[in-house]
């Protein structure tokens, strides 16, 4: 009876996870997606806990308390730190899978060796390798993104790197094959920790040649590894919910990584082995180019005269938390009859959907948020392109400069607007570490300063101009 109820609960939980992913598709239903995900997880935990064979309930309570102790502080990180936060979640997911696999192996060799069939051993070893690999790799990725001192930010490359990594992986596979065929041999319990160590080492080695700029994509790939590890765990524990949830996790991570690679015009191999993000050599001997600066007052006058303004937000808007000021500017311009649209690049900011989340927080109507492909053909008609802390995603070098590391990445055609105002604090480059010709263009005027402060000044100018308070 309990078995039937718990299987039914698993089915409902699986449905919750599928709805959760579906609802995440648009900002309008995303909140429901979060609730469905939470409901599915709570149901899954309770259904598992109801298993009458569980006798040590204290351990489960302890695990739940530990989960809250780690999860609650993690949920409080600022939005700009969400990529590394996500990496940490994957690290914990991977560690959990690895530990469950390890416990299962050592438990079964003493208690029920017959249980360790070849099929179950294949699943168990896959779970352990993917779990520990995800754990070590995700920790490295989080460290790189958080710019932790002892984790090198730049890609670390050395001769025969891929060959030596492959050799290591081959060794792990050979040992895995041996232990799969002879799980209860006297040497097997000693070989198992070696496989764990190799998986941990492989996780670190896989991440160090990748630059910080590619970390968010790598995190999505690690997400799919964690999902696959959960699928394998589902087979080991004979738990259908783990198989479904792991498959959903694994495939959504993979799809996300593919979307991100496409948006940056990169291939998987290029992300994983391209050592992108190495600091570019400054171009020697080039003539000194100059920026033109504009005051908030001057910019406000141009904005007032415009009939079509496109706002292009980027990472700087997130850093400055300027979204609410941007909303005020949007309201003021709309009130004056100006058409205002937001151009959203798929990899603006530091995570997919970063700009959508911020602008939704400021209650900007979704109908005025346009994806890159939908806005680009209107850019030549725009009177003003207002770039708010975006850099790489509006860099024309992606279209024209074959030597640029971002060559081929689709960009928002800010340079095609009649006038460009670009808000940033200094002359430093964006994430890819390269100069941006847009800022030197004849049509571009820089509004140097913190995005929140500058947009605030624009708002003040426009408010003053209309006689409002």
- Residues acting as catalytic residues: 392
Is 272 a binding residue for ligand NAP by CB under 6 A? The answer is no
- Span of 90-98, 99-107, 269-277, 430-438 interacting with ligand NAP by CB under 6 A: 430-438
Our CB check for ligand NAP shows the closer of 44 and 254 to be 254
d(CA 99, CA 111): 18
* Nearest distance in Å: CB 347, ligand NAP: 4
- Span of 31-39, 163-171, 276-284, 422-430 interacting with ligand NAP by CB under 6 A: 422-430
Our CB check for ligand NAP shows the closer of 100 and 388 to be 388
> Nearest-5° angle of CA 300, CA 354, CA 221?
150
| DSSP classification of residue 393 | G
| Closest-CA residue to 203 (of 180, 219, 191, 189) | 219
Measure Cα distances from 428 to 129, 239, 276, 324, 386 in Å: 41, 52, 19, 25, 18
Is 431 a binding residue for ligand NAP by CB under 6 A? The answer is yes
Is 410 a binding residue for ligand NAP by CB under 6 A? The answer is no
- Span of 227-235, 240-248, 366-374, 425-433 interacting with ligand NAP by CB under 6 A: 425-433
Is 6 a binding residue for ligand NAP by CB under 6 A? The answer is no
Burial (CB < 10 A; 0-12, 13-18, 19+), residue 66, is exposed
* Nearest distance in Å: CB 295, ligand NAP: 16
Q: Residue number with the shortest CB distance to ligand NAP? A: 430
Our CB check for ligand NAP shows the closer of 367 and 428 to be 428
Our CB check for ligand NAP shows the closer of 101 and 349 to be 349
Is 352 a binding residue for ligand NAP by CB under 6 A? The answer is yes
Measure Cα distances from 136 to 37, 88, 423 in Å: 26, 10, 38
* Nearest distance in Å: CB 70, ligand NAP: 24
Our CB check for ligand NAP shows the closer of 231 and 387 to be 387
**x/- string (CB under 6 A) for ligand NAP, residues 369-398?**
--------------------xxxxx-----
* Nearest distance in Å: CB 162, ligand NAP: 23
Q: How many CA atoms lie within 13 A of 156 on its CB side?
A: 11
Contact 195, 129 (CB under 8 A): yes
Give DSSP secondary structure letters for 316-383: HHHHHT-HHHHHHHHHHHHHTT-EEEEEE-TTSTTSTTHHHHHHHHTT--GGGEEEHHHHGGGGGG-S
Is 426 a binding residue for ligand NAP by CB under 6 A? The answer is yes
* One of 315, 342, 421, 439 touching ligand NAP (CB under 6 A): 315
Our CB check for ligand NAP shows the closer of 186 and 428 to be 428
d(CA 398, CA 242): 42
- Span of 70-78, 171-179, 221-229, 418-426 interacting with ligand NAP by CB under 6 A: 418-426
Is 316 a binding residue for ligand NAP by CB under 6 A? The answer is yes
Residue 162 has φ and ψ, to the nearest 5°, of: -65, -40
Q: Is 124 left (phi over 0), alpha (psi -120 to 50) or beta?
A: alpha
Of 317-336, binders to ligand NAP (CB under 6 A) are: 319-320
| DSSP classification of residue 278 | P
Is 290 a binding residue for ligand NAP by CB under 6 A? The answer is no
Is 423 a binding residue for ligand NAP by CB under 6 A? The answer is yes
d(CA 154, CA 275): 8
d(CA 39, CA 9): 11
Contacts of 112 (CB under 8 A, 6+ apart): none
Our CB check for ligand NAP shows the closer of 385 and 390 to be 390
Is 219 a binding residue for ligand NAP by CB under 6 A? The answer is no
d(CA 394, CA 392): 5
* One of 33, 40, 216, 277 touching ligand NAP (CB under 6 A): 216
* One of 260, 344, 411, 462 touching ligand NAP (CB under 6 A): 260
d(CA 313, CA 340): 13
Q: Interface residues with ligand NAP (CB under 6 A)?
A: 213, 216-217, 260, 264, 314-316, 319-320, 347-352, 354, 389-393, 423-426, 428, 430-432, 450-451
């Amino acid at each position: 009876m309990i078995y039937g109820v718990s299987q039914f609960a698993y089915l409902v939980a699986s449905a919750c996870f599928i709805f959760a992913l579906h609802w995440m598709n648009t900002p309008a239903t995303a909140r429901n997606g979060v609730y469905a995900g939470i409901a599915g997880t709570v149901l899954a935990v309770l259904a598992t806990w109801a298993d009458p064979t569980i006798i040590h309930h204290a351990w489960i309570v302890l695990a739940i308390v530990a989960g809250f102790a780690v999860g609650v502080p993690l949920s409080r990180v600022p939005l700009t730190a969400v990529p590394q936060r996500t990496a940490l979640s994957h690290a914990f997911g991977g560690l959990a899978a690895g530990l469950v696999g390890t416990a299962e192996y050592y438990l079964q060799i003493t208690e029920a060796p017959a249980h360790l069939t070849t099929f179950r051993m294949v699943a168990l070893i896959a779970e352990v390798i993917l779990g520990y690999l995800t754990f070590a790799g995700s920790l490295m990725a989080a460290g790189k993104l958080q710019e932790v001192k002892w984790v090198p930010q730049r890609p670390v490359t050395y001769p025969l790197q891929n060959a030596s990594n492959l050799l290591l992986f081959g060794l792990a596979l050979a040992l895995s094959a041996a232990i799969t065929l002879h799980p209860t041999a006297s040497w097997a319990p000693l070989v198992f920790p070696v496989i764990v160590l190799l998986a941990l080492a492989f996780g670190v080695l896989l991440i160090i040649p990748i630059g910080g700029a590619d970390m968010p994509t790598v995190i999505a790939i690690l997400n799919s590894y964690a999902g696959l590890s959960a699928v394998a765990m589902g087979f080991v524990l004979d738990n259908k919910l783990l198989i479904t949830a792991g498959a959903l996790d694994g495939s959504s991570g993979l799809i996300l990584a593919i979307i991100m690679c496409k948006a940056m015009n990169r291939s998987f191999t290029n992300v994983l082995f391209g050592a992108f993000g190495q600091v570019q050599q400054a171009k020697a001997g080039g003539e000194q180019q100059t920026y033109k600066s504009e005051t908030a007052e001057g910019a406000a006058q141009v904005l007032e005269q415009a009939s079509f303004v496109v706002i292009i937000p980027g990472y700087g808007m997130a850093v400055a938390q300027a979204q609410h000021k941007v909303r005020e500017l949007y309201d003021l311009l709309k009130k004056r009859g100006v058409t205002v649209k937001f151009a959203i690049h798929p990899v603006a900011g530091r995570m997919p959907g970063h700009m959508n989340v911020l602008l939704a927080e400021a209650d900007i109507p979704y109908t005025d948020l346009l994806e890159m492909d939908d806005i680009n053909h209107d850019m030549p008609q725009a009177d003003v392109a207002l770039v708010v802390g975006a850099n790489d995603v509006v860099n024309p070098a992606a279209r024209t400069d074959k030597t640029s590391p971002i060559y081929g990445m689709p960009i928002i055609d800010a340079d095609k607007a009649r006038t460009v105002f670009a808000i940033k604090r200094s002359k430093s480059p964006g994430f890819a570490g390269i100069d941006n010709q847009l800022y030197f263009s004849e049509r571009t005027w820089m509004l140097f300063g913190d995005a929140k402060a500058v947009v605030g000044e624009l708002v003040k100018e426009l408010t003053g101009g209309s006689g409002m308070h």
